[in-house]
Structure 1
Amino acid sequence: MAITPAELVGTVAVALGIPYGTVKNYDRRLMEAGLRTKKGHGRGSALMGPEDAAILLAAIASCDEIGRAADCVRTLYELPFAGRSSDHPRNKFEDLPFLCNAIGRKDKEVNTFGKALVAVIQHLTEKADTRHYFGFEVSIAGGDPYAADLIITTPKKTRRIEFYRAGTIQSTFDAFLRIKRVIIGSALEIIANALAEREGAA
């Protein structure tokens, strides 16, 4: 038995501490835009996986206006790994091999924020990871996401993997409102555990 859309919505609502109805509205917008598995009826009801969970989390983190959820999540998902364009101190940031080693993936499987988030949730559903604690942070300016950091914490350090397009950060400086939204690792673990338990019961 796999997790249903209603169960995914309920799990995300609990994990993030936001109303069920709010999460359901995000989910509906994503379904209407063709960004998540479509719901059928009865035995044909949609079965949710890591991809669906990742896009729902990303949508909630990337915008306040539910009507813009699809556009914002597309922008966020396409953000490429910043690599050498980053101007942040390297003592806090890592390159893709650090992420690849943590979750057992190749660079090309995690070279955009969307791919990386899906890969992390897939990793957490496959087995319990006691060595790494994952979360992410989305930066928003003028209502649009422009950068994201995947956060990886180990017993010895916390590191970030940066995703943004060269030039986009400079263009946000004139925005009147810039905010950051953080989804902490416990939320990813709660959601991944719900997916894993359902998959394991099949």
Structure 2
Amino acid sequence: MAITPAELVGTVAVALGIPYGTVKNYDRRLMEAGLRTKKGHGRGSALMGAEDAAVLLAAIASCDEIGRAADCVQTLYELPFAGRSSDHPRNDFENLSFLCDIIGRTEKEVNTFGRAIVAVMQHLAGKADPKHYFGFEVSIAGGEPYAADLIVTTPKKTRRIEFYRAGQIQKTIDACLRVKREIIGSAFVVVANVIADR
């Protein structure tokens, strides 16, 4: 079932527990920047899909200043897959092949955070996946997202796939206060179920 922008905003507001007006303002900024589907009002309104849902969730997680939502979500979406980081336990972090096996995509199709998050939303909207619980965490410093982890939880283990630009993290961490924001898996499922054709 396709949904209108107002229905998507309402669903995201409930799923994240934040005011409808706040989510609506994020959505408006994304529409104005051409980052989500745009068409008419009322009955002629655009129909929202998996990409629109993913970008709205990512925008909310990527910044606190609604006026900067479009810039921040673009920065977040461009973060490349970083490989396994040496400063983390290796058994918690995965390569892209782990995600590709779950959602049926190639590594090239999910090699940036934006591509990965859209692919996950499309996967969840296309069919129920009771074996995997998806979420993501965004690290912000100086008002800008500088790293993101895609989180995949199974009944036995939680895995992370890291996205960031090599060489930029230490500079950002040294210069600024860091904040982490997480969109947990239940939000993904709630939003995906609303936009799904089930």
- TM-score range relative to shorter protein: over 0.9
| Preserved contact between residue 80 and residue 165 of structure 1 (Cα < 8 Å) | yes
Shift of 1:156: 1.1
Equivalent residues in 2 for 1:80-119 (5 A)?
80-83=80-83, 87-119=87-119
Q: Secondary structure at the match of 1:129?
A: coil
Alpha carbons of structure 1 residues 42 and 131: separation in structure 2 relative to 1, 3 Å:
same
- Report if the CA contact (8 A) 1:80-1:163 is conserved: yes
Q: What are the Cα deviations for residues 89-117 of structure 1, in whole angstroms up to 9, with x where unaligned? A: 21110000000011111101110000000
The alignment status of 1:11 with 2:11, answered yes or no, reads yes
Question: Gaps (5+ residues) in structure 1?
Answer: none
Equivalent AA in structure 2 for residue 128 of structure 1: A
- The aligned residue for residue 178 of structure 2 is 178
Q: Which amino acid aligns with 2:178?
A: R
Instruction: Note closer, same or farther for the CA distance 1:181–1:144 as it changes in structure 2 (3 Å cut).
Output: same
Seen in structure 2, the aligned counterparts of structure 1 residues 42 and 23 have a Cα distance that, compared at 3 Å, is closer
Q: Runs of 5+ in structure 2 lacking a partner? A: none
Residue type of the alignment partner of 1:121: M
Following superposition, the deviation at residue 86 of structure 1 comes to 5.2
The answer to whether the 8 Å contact 2:133/2:185 transfers is yes
1:27 matched residue in structure 2: 27
Q: TM-score, normalised by structure 1?
A: 0.94
How far is the alpha carbon of 1:144 from its aligned partner? Answer: 0.4
> What fraction of aligned residue pairs are identical, expressed as a percent?
83
Q: Which residue of 2 aligns with 1:165?
A: 165
- 1:69 maps to 69
2: distance between equivalents of 1:77 and 1:176?
A: 21
The aligned counterpart of 1:140 is 140
Shift of 1:44: 2.9
User: What residue identity is the alignment partner of 2:71?
Assistant: D
Q: Given the two structures, how large is their TM-score scaled by the length of structure 2?
A: 0.96
Q: Deviations over 1:118-148 (max 9, x none)?
A: 0001000111101100000000001100000
Specify the alignment match of 1:47 in structure 2: 47
1:106 partner amino acid: T
Task: Name the counterpart of 2:191.
Answer: 191
| 1:3-36 Cα distance to aligned partner (Å, 9 max, x none) | 0000000000000000000000000000000100
Q: Contact 1:86–1:162 (CA<8 Å) still a contact in 2? A: no
Worse overlay, 18-27 or 101-110: 101-110
